[in-house]
Structure 1
Amino acid sequence: MASGGVEGSAELRIDGAAKRFGEVAALDGVSLQVARGELLTILGPSGSGKTTLLKVVAGFEKPDAGSVKIDGVEITALPPARRDIGMVFQNYALFPHLTVERNVAFPLEMRNVTKAEIARRVAEALALVELAGYEQRLPRQLSGGQQQRVALARAIVFNPRLLLLDEPFGALDRKLRETMQLEVRRLQRRLGLTTIFITHDQEEALVLSDRIAVMNKGTIQQIATTTEIYERPANDFVADFVGESNIFHGTMSGTGVVTLEGGRQLRVSTSAVPGKRVGVLMRPERFASGGINAFAGEVVESVYLGTSFKLRLACEDGLELLVRQPARGELPAPGARATFGIDPDAIHVF
């Protein structure tokens, strides 16, 4: 388990993966590629197909169509035990009657590794997840975070070509979840291990990923870097699912001008041609007290969030906006009048 890149860390390619359960298309022709050493997060709501896709990669589900390849070699029909893939689940899946040491050693024992090599690799894996000294404890004697570290050590101890994590922090409290996110990212970068991470948590995806694949109804809506997914979503679904948003629709009525459905005109920075129907995204935190595109109205809801104020503004022309502002001074009370603006460069047109 060498630092700086696991032996055999691999490139993954999925082409046209399809899977139906009765009338439901869990996967509808999904294709994606994960580069060697990359951490790709598959993000989507419940029922979007993300866990089915993970099971197809792991070998727990056979696709109705399509192929799965690791380093160019097709593994679609290969049983899970022969894929050399490490997995971490939300429920840890530890053996309750085995010690930490024996749990981590299990994949090596199944591969007939020598006792001396098992001892060396287990010690190294436990040190990597900061559990040295816990070798003889049973799972029930560990906290949730410690149990998840044991599961992670077990998943990497045999030098897998690929690591799959299926919502591994869902059972942890928020603070511990955030700590584990950073630990997984640190470990993944240190090992250079090709990783697919499944989550429905948008913040988790933004923290962890090199790239994010957003899924909905069995299809990939967009694959891009974290910045691009947030700043330049491809469609309404991605814009709404990732982060807070104000989404409107309209028509390009001139160069750099969108006329919204209610008649309001916005100055925007886009190459979209006049006459084209477009979507408009304005992130709540992009508004300021001034700006070219001004929105005046009444505060109908205001919430103090520590570092920011979250306001809902009912505009005079009927639009409703979500606005976030730094928490300075008094929190505007419902009924107060306010005006906010947003620069053309801060508006995403899609």
Structure 2
Amino acid sequence: MREQMNRSCRRLALLAILLLLPVLAYPRILMTPYLQAVTKTSVYVLAECDSKEAVRVEYGTTGDYGHSTTAGSIAQTGASPSTYVHKVLLSGLKPNTLYCYRAEQGGSTSAGASFRTAVEPGTSFRFAWLADVRGGTGIHDMIAARISDANPAVSLYGGDLCSSSSYRSFKDEFFRPRELELASHVPFFNATGNHERWSTNTKAFTQAPVSSSGKQEYYSFDYGDVHALVVNNEITSTMGSPQYRFAERDLKESTNKWNIVISHKPAYCEGGHGNDVEMEAMSENLFEKYHVDIVLSGHSHFFQHSLVNKIHHFVIGTAGAPIYTPENGPNVLKYAADYCYAIGDVTPTTLHLVVYNDHGKVLDTLDLEKK
């Protein structure tokens, strides 16, 4: 009798395994899809999955969607077992238009979300800035929530999104629920930091827009009246290097009202890690020559605002990383040892930037005007 019962239990266990196998083998979306490289007419939806099976993104101006595509590319992460980031390109969109979207792979479907395409020149918009998240997950959660409440159209990130280039560091420290809620609605552009580095996982989890650099690691983009140059401090930018030559050509050709440079390491910084010599040389030789208005950086974990030869250099350098002690200096206008982020409002004639700490206290305000 006991042996018959054992045989019955084994048959039931085998049947349960056989019933579960199709579910376990089914392709799955592993993380909330998020947005990258937005332009007036396109955006990338990035979806991490456990297989290379095509991801289809449905999209449209209503919750009924009406369009779908699988166009794009796939990048393998450093995870074990392997995971794959599907970078699906939505193109042929209308400027400054709200779109709904969701991603599907096999029987797995993401929750619906929405985004707005980039605005035309002459149209006002809001942007956000954060940098140096690393292991400060509670602070990151708070700042991501405050940025979300500010309702920006686009975000600029200054690198060190996590403590290392490892897959688990990205997943545990950066891709947290509040960040994913933000990034699923607000596309972000990232300037690579020295902690995530230009690594396998950084390449997998980010997507740059097409630019004249022809590269993903450093690039530029236009958003409304802003032209933004994104510098990668993990790749040489010494005079004559490919990145330096690209930066010079790019800034020389810019016709936008406002020119902004974003980088992880600052050209000018009192205290912390100090000046980055390659950024300082680019500022003296290129940024000043081609009338850059603002340089946004992180790396040193505090807030600092310096004015050097008519360029406003900001270190807004901790959305979670341990706070350093800033120092005063001849070019320093304001500084604070505090967690921080920024919100910017751009119009055809004004640029208004407010730096906040993690509790919403104003640390600094900048107002620029151009006719």
TM-score calculated relative to the size of structure 1: 0.29
Higher RCO structure, 1 or 2 (CA under 8 Å, sep 6+): 1
- Which structure has the highest helix share of the two? 1
TM-score calculated relative to the size of structure 2: 0.28
Q: State which structure, 1 or 2, has the greater radius of gyration over its C-alpha atoms.
A: 1
